[in-house]
Chain A
Amino acid sequence: MQCQICNNRDATIHLTEITDGTRSEMHICEQCAAEQGIAVKSHIPINELLSSLLASAPSDDEFADPHEQKAACPTCGFTLDQFRKEGVLGCPNDYDVFAKSLQPLIEKAHCGKIAHCGKIPSKTSMDTKKQVELLNLRQQLDNAVRNEDYELAAELRDKISETKR
């Protein structure tokens, strides 16, 4: 579509104005918009970008894996539906549980990059297994406290300190 003002460049800005119930549309290029004093918001804050990615990503396209669609993280109980609403994940384990569904989003947010390069913790980090084990124990501890089962809670607390070592 050509710009309605200069009739030359491509129209990339589309304005809809409603005055007294009458709707009018205008299609213009960025340069003419600037000359007309129309501010163009050409930068999108990261959170807006994320919510727009999530909102514009119907489950069929974006979160393609049917198993992950229905899954809840065994560690934190988190689901993809909750992620869509909140924009943040529940625990580190979610990156594994929802790996397939998160991949397209991660690629979009990071300009096609999908693997880390850069700093690595200097000391040997806890292996993933141990991390997941700890997360699970903490989940059980939360439940025990909620159910006022203090004996079990004490046991779990000891297990957590043991695992941390």
Chain B
Amino acid sequence: MKLTDISGDINEWFDGSGPMSDIVVSSRIRLARNLAGHKFLSRCSNAEKSEILEKLKDVLMSLDLGDKVFYVSIDKAPALNKNFLVERHLISRHHAFGEGPRGVVMVQREFFTAMINEEDHLRIQVLKAGCQLSQCWEQINSIDNMIEEKTDYAFSPRFGYLTACPTNIGTGIRVSVMLHLPALKMTGQIEKFFNAAKDMSLAVRGLFGEGTEAASDLYQLSNQVTLGVTESEIVSQFENTIIPEIAEYENAARSQLLCRDTEVLDDKISRAMALLQNAHLVSSQEALFLLSHLRLGINMHRHMGASTPAINRLCSLCDTPVKGGSGLSIATINRLFMLTLPAHLQLNHGGNLDPAHRDALRAQIIRSALNQQG
């Protein structure tokens, strides 16, 4: 399988489906594991790293994961391919640009990936659309059990699963949700979210790398405490306390926009439409920023029955087939989000493009998706 087999479309966990998908775009659970009887990576020679890589690769490739499994060698991959995998959330930036023998085992539908020799010997993750953390945990736990049958993990009765960094010991679990919070941002209340996260000892990150949260209004929220609390407790805290609380803030901000600040809301949506339907050069940051407003408009219509002049104009496109497909949907917006990221653009174009050409190509792809045929 080649990366270009998947680069033309979004992955299934980013298609805008799943529970609470108007706010929770996707759910992810990652487990950090190390093999018993080996040093952590910072002290491993390349020969030992290769040994670990081969061993884990063999184990992972032999598992029945319910989908086609394939392996990508990261130390041998060209920079463009590595950037593509990072954009798609299949590997971390640290893994892409680290050192030594390392790779990723993944399934074709991209709900599961395993980074070998990142910061720990093994980091496995399961991703699903919308709010589906319990389902993620169930699946990753069973995959972890399958791996455990074929290998020995470094484990101590006191500190649990041992990791290179003491901040990950215990369960080695990182539970995260990708949240779309444009209304909190527009109404100047995003600090509420940051403070709530801080109070609950959670970490917040932007979606597409440092600083991009401001552009896309997509935030990744994850647990920091991994010791002394069970996996199920962390998952249930997210599902029963954290996510409902933040969704309530965002929904209140959306209602405020609808009732009190309709002009502000309509202005943002109309500007986003006008620019994206007509511009000939669109930067990556600008695309993320404007597409976020379209996503808000469509979701407010679908989930709150919102009807304002701008939302109605936007949603008239949802019922009209556009070039080469059905009407505009959240899946279309997400597709434009992902496929116009720099590495996606270049991989699908068939080679490197300078930023100016990328901006033109990005604008062209978006224009053609948002303008009705004829």
Q: Specify which of A116, A138, A145 is in contact with B159 (CB 8 Å cutoff).
A: A116
Whole-angstrom CA separation of A67 from B144 in the bound complex:
38
Do B231 and A121 touch (CB < 8 A)? Answer: no
Do B198 and A113 touch (CB < 8 A)? Answer: no
Do B194 and A126 touch (CB < 8 A)? Answer: no
With A135-B38, A138-B48 as known contacts, state yes or no: A89 contacts B152, CB within 8 Å. Answer: no
Do B45 and A142 touch (CB < 8 A)? Answer: yes
Q: Specify which of A105, A115, A145 is in contact with B228 (CB 8 Å cutoff).
A: A115
Do A117 and B229 touch (CB < 8 A)? Answer: yes
Interfacial residues, chain B to chain A (CB-CB below 8 A): 34, 36-43, 45, 47-48, 119, 141, 144-145, 148-149, 152-162, 164-167, 169-171, 173, 188, 191, 194-195, 197-198, 201, 203-205, 224-231
Residue of B with least CB distance to A136: B37
Interface presence of A70 (CB below 8 A): no
Do B37 and A126 touch (CB < 8 A)? Answer: yes
Whole-angstrom CA separation of A145 from B203 in the bound complex:
43
Counting chain B CB atoms within 10 Å of each CB, which of A112, A119, A163 scores highest?
Answer: A119
Mark A92-113 against chain B: 1 for CB-CB distance below 8 A, else 0: 1001000000100110011111
Interface presence of A18 (CB below 8 A): no
Q: Specify which of A105, A110, A123 is in contact with B226 (CB 8 Å cutoff).
A: A110
Residue of A with least CB distance to B231: A118
Chain A residues, CB < 8 A from B195: 42
Counting chain A CB atoms within 10 Å of each CB, which of B161, B197, B231 scores highest?
Answer: B161
User: B233 CB to closest chain A CB, in angstroms?
Assistant: 8
Whole-angstrom CA separation of A60 from B267 in the bound complex:
58
Interface presence of A34 (CB below 8 A): yes
Chain B residues, CB < 8 A from A88: 40-42, 119, 164-165
Residue of A with least CB distance to B158: A115
Counting chain B CB atoms within 10 Å of each CB, which of A30, A42, A90, A91 scores highest?
Answer: A91
Do B40 and A119 touch (CB < 8 A)? Answer: no
Do B230 and A90 touch (CB < 8 A)? Answer: no
Do A125 and B38 touch (CB < 8 A)? Answer: no
Whole-angstrom CA separation of A131 from B188 in the bound complex:
53
Do B230 and A117 touch (CB < 8 A)? Answer: yes
Chain A residues, CB < 8 A from B167: 46, 49-50, 109-110
Q: Which of A2-10, A20-28, A72-80 sits within the interface? A: A72-80
Do A46 and B203 touch (CB < 8 A)? Answer: yes
User: A90 CB to closest chain B CB, in angstroms?
Assistant: 4
With A43-B194, A110-B170, A142-B45 as known contacts, state yes or no: A116 contacts B227, CB within 8 Å. Answer: yes
Q: Specify which of B119, B156, B166 is in contact with A109 (CB 8 Å cutoff).
A: B166
User: B221 CB to closest chain A CB, in angstroms?
Assistant: 9
Whole-angstrom CA separation of A134 from B37 in the bound complex:
5
Do B157 and A116 touch (CB < 8 A)? Answer: yes
Interface presence of A16 (CB below 8 A): no
Chain B residues, CB < 8 A from A120: 155, 160
Do B225 and A110 touch (CB < 8 A)? Answer: yes
Q: Specify which of B47, B149, B228 is in contact with A116 (CB 8 Å cutoff).
A: B228
Residue of A with least CB distance to B171: A118
Do A43 and B198 touch (CB < 8 A)? Answer: yes
Do A91 and B188 touch (CB < 8 A)? Answer: no
With A43-B194, A77-B43, A102-B166 as known contacts, state yes or no: A95 contacts B37, CB within 8 Å. Answer: no
Do A91 and B40 touch (CB < 8 A)? Answer: yes
User: B118 CB to closest chain A CB, in angstroms?
Assistant: 11
Do B198 and A125 touch (CB < 8 A)? Answer: no
